[in-house]
């Protein structure tokens, strides 16, 4: 029988045959009596009705229970965050992302495809913090009259008063040049002692024409303060290996600029051109004395400790003791004072060049120093000087094929200068405005979750031996964390200090120079005092976190823990994915040394090197937007902590999801909590792909997104990426 039962039994018989004494129903004879209604038939009908009613009741109960379950699951599941901060964040994500791109093939464009210019996340946040400072500085009646706060507000106001600056013109600058002895360009020049002029430039104007000198902690224990002598910074983008044609064009543009400066200061055109030409010649010769950092590192001469006496013998043109003493007063110096020198050969050659110029062209050397000072002071001068400098930067950028720098508004420059000179005051005002105690508490709770996840993860790292593992866990638990602002910024007595040594006016340039001297004196004084806590290397409104090796401290400024990276009202997925991954990244800097060759002798070297090679290959196989591939040999350490930072933040977030209810998501974004976590991680990295600096320690932004995410199985799982897609490769690396 086709399509029927092949057993030989008819359907509906229950498998009983005639041999069993029962006739099949189609052969049964029905008697007349049997055709009469039976007495039991009504009960049979009622039984059927009862069964129908029971089935209906059960169906109703099941339906009601299902509705109840849906309600319960919806109530316990992630609901949309409808607060204003979440709507603002949603707008940011929609503005930077490109949801038409498949996340499994190009998650960078999915998250950052429309980010242009200042949409670079860190840069945008830094500018937003400066806007907040601007609102504070421009709010009437925000300061205490007669206090240090008042001077900060007055300085900002004078910086913004461009009418007064334009009216003063070059007169305040000419007064400065007269104090330095004048110059032959204007026909009024007194041949003063070279070292006297250099001493004034360094101590009174903060300008170092031939080298840089500043205080810093010693690079090795006991980390006491030491004067460091470095190569100078040049305004001209010359390179050791540069095409002769480009080199000549750069020199011509810079010569034109120096001619403009001399002319604006009333110099005679012929004399200006002659002095400008010799100045650029001196700059070019000094540049030739420089040795690349890589070369000095390879020779083991990254820095050398010498006494002032020893340096005086090797570079005698400079009166080192008197120049340094004037610059770092009241720090007591002696000929036996140790200095940290970064390029001794440069200083020797520089000294020889200065001696030659002193014997042949003393007046030209004076002009060279003054032209350099004018260049550095141009931001505090009137519009003609600033425009000349902007034009130079633009033309040099075109010659070196660097992207043009966008013009910055005046208020931003004034905010930055006020912040530099009056940091204690602005730190307190910013923290009070942008980092409340509840925000700090939420940020510390997030950091604790990240730190605990790292401690837990260290137990499972395969290449660590037991001793190294325990030491690593101890290092993490003993770590200090500084969050928000330094201790002194939260003390009103320090924040409102009088700045008695600052004299504001009569011109903005004079106010600026008075602030330069005051700041230098405060820096020196702070190094001379015993400092019981870590010296912050960033301002509280800055956006750069860092780990300090000497103090074993990790620092997260208040300016970083702001939207779109962090807010107490955000979904946890956002805070863990953005700020949490940044925190984990900084924590992993503790273990940089272990990843270097020979950095962990007791570890399983083969397993460690295998993981690092895997990581290197992983990044080299991810294409860049232009179809090329990136050699990550210079960035492999940061790649390693990028991948580890994401893994640790994800582990901490997953644990938080497991033990805490009430998770939320962003409305109308159609992303689950886990997807929102990865989206928030990528948002931190949003940046135009072509903005990579040559010495950037980080990989290009596309790799900083695709590298860690494609190495994370959970990403492919939550975004349902097909096997073999860019974000779901066939193999992954296990380093952390």
Active site residues: 586, 642
With beta carbons less than 8 A apart as the criterion, state whether 699 and 635 touch.
yes
Q: Would you state the torsion angle of the CA atoms of residues 643, 644, 647, 652, taken in this order, to the nearest 10 degrees? A: -150
Q: CB under 8 Å, gap of 24 or more: what pairs does 355-361 form?
A: 355/316, 355/317, 357/282, 358/194, 358/317, 361/278
Terminal Cα distance for the chain, rounded = 66
DSSP state of 26: G
Name which of 424, 454, 462, 433 is nearest 647 in CA terms.
454
Give all strands (DSSP E) within 396-509, no chain letters.
480-484
Name which of 673, 435, 441 is nearest 577 in CA terms.
673
Tokens 């000929």 found at:
335
**From CA 218, how far away is CA 212, in angstroms rounded?**
16
**From CA 597, how far away is CA 600, in angstroms rounded?**
8
What is the DSSP pairing of strand 338-341 with strand 225-230?
A: parallel
Annotate 491-543 with three-state secondary structure. CHHHHCCCCCCCCCCCCHHHHHHHHHHHHHHHHHHHHHCCCCCCCCCCCCCCC
Alpha helices in 603-729 (DSSP H): 605-620, 636-659, 673-685, 701-710, 713-718
Name which of 468, 455, 374 is nearest 173 in CA terms.
374
Tokens 């004399």 found at:
271
Give all strands (DSSP E) within 115-241, no chain letters.
182-183, 188-189, 212-217, 225-230
With beta carbons less than 8 A apart as the criterion, state whether 189 and 268 touch.
no
């Amino acid at each position: 029988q086709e399509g029927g039962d092949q057993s030989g039994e008819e359907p509906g018989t229950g498998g009983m045959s005639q041999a069993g004494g029962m006739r099949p129903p189609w052969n049964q004879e029905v008697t007349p009596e049997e055709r009469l209604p039976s007495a039991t038939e009504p009960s049979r009908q009622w039984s059927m009705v009862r069964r129908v009613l029971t089935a209906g009741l059960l169906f109703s109960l099941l339906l009601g229970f299902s509705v109840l379950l849906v309600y319960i699951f919806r109530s316990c599941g992630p609901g949309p965050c409808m607060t204003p901060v979440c709507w603002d964040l949603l707008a940011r994500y929609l503005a930077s992302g490109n949801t038409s791109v498949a996340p499994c093939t190009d998650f960078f464009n999915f998250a950052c495809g429309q980010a242009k210019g200042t949409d670079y996340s860190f840069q945008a946040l830094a500018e937003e913090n400066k806007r907040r400072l601007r609102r504070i500085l421009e709010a009437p009646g925000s300061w205490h009259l007669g206090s240090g706060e008042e001077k900060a507000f007055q300085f900002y106001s004078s910086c913004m008063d461009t009418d007064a600056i334009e009216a003063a013109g070059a007169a305040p600058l000419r007064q400065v040049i007269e104090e330095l002895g004048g110059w032959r360009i204007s026909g009024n020049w007194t041949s003063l002692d070279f070292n006297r002029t250099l001493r004034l430039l360094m101590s009174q104007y903060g300008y170092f024409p031939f080298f840089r000198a500043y205080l810093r902690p010693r690079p090795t224990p006991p980390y006491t303060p030491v004067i460091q002598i470095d190569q100078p910074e040049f305004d001209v983008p010359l390179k050791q290996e540069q095409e002769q044609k480009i080199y000549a064009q750069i020199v011509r543009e810079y010569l034109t600029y120096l001619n403009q400066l001399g002319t604006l200061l009333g110099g005679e055109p012929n004399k200006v051109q002659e002095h400008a030409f010799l100045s650029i010649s001196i700059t070019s010769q000094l540049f030739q004395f420089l040795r690349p950092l890589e070369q000095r590192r390879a020779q083991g001469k990254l820095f050398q400790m010498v006494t002032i006496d020893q340096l005086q013998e090797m570079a005698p043109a400079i009166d080192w003791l008197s120049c340094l003493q004037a610059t770092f007063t009241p720090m007591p110096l002696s000929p036996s004072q140790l200095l940290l020198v970064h390029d001794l050969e440069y200083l020797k050659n520089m000294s020889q060049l200065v001696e030659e110029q002193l014997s042949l062209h003393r007046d030209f050397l004076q002009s060279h120093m003054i032209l350099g000072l004018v260049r550095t002071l141009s931001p505090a001068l009137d519009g003609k000087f600033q425009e000349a400098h902007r034009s130079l930067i633009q033309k040099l950028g075109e010659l070196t094929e660097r992207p043009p720098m966008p013009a910055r508004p005046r208020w931003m420059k004034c905010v930055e200068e006020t912040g530099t000179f009056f940091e204690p005051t602005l730190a307190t005002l910013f923290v009070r405005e942008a980092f409340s105690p509840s925000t700090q508490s939420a940020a510390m709770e997030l950091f604790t979750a990240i730190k605990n996840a790292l401690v837990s993860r260290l137990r499972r790292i395969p290449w660590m031996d037991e001793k190294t593992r325990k030491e690593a866990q101890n290092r993490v638990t003993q770590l200090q964390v500084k969050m928000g602002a330094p201790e002194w910024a939260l003390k009103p007595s320090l924040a409102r200090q009088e700045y008695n040594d600052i004299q504001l006016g009569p011109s903005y340039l004079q106010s600026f120079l008075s602030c330069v001297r005051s700041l230098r004196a405060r820096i020196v004084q702070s190094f001379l005092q015993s400092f019981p806590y870590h010296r912050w290397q960033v301002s509280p409104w800055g956006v750069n976190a860092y780990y300090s090796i000497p103090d074993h401290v990790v620092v997260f400024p208040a300016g970083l823990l702001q939207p779109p990276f962090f807010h107490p009202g955000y979904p946890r997925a956002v805070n863990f994915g953005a700020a949490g991954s940044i925190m984990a990244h900084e924590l992993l800097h503790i273990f940089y040394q272990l990843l270097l060759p020979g950095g962990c002798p007791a570890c399983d070297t083969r397993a460690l090197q295998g993981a690092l090679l895997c990581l290197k290959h992983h990044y080299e196989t991810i294409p860049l937007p232009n179809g090329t591939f990136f050699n990550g040999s210079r960035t492999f350490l940061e790649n390693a902590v990028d991948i580890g930072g994401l893994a640790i933040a994800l582990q901490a977030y997953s644990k938080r999801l497991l033990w805490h209810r009430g998770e939320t998501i962003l409305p109308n974004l159609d992303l689950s909590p886990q997807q929102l976590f990865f989206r928030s991680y990528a948002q931190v990295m949003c940046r135009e792909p072509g903005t990579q600096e040559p010495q950037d320690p980080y990989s290009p932004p596309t790799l900083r997104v695709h590298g860690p995410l494609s190495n994370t199985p959970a990403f492919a799982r939550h975004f349902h990426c097909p096997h073999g897609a860019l974000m779901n490769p066939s193999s992954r690396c296990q380093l952390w």
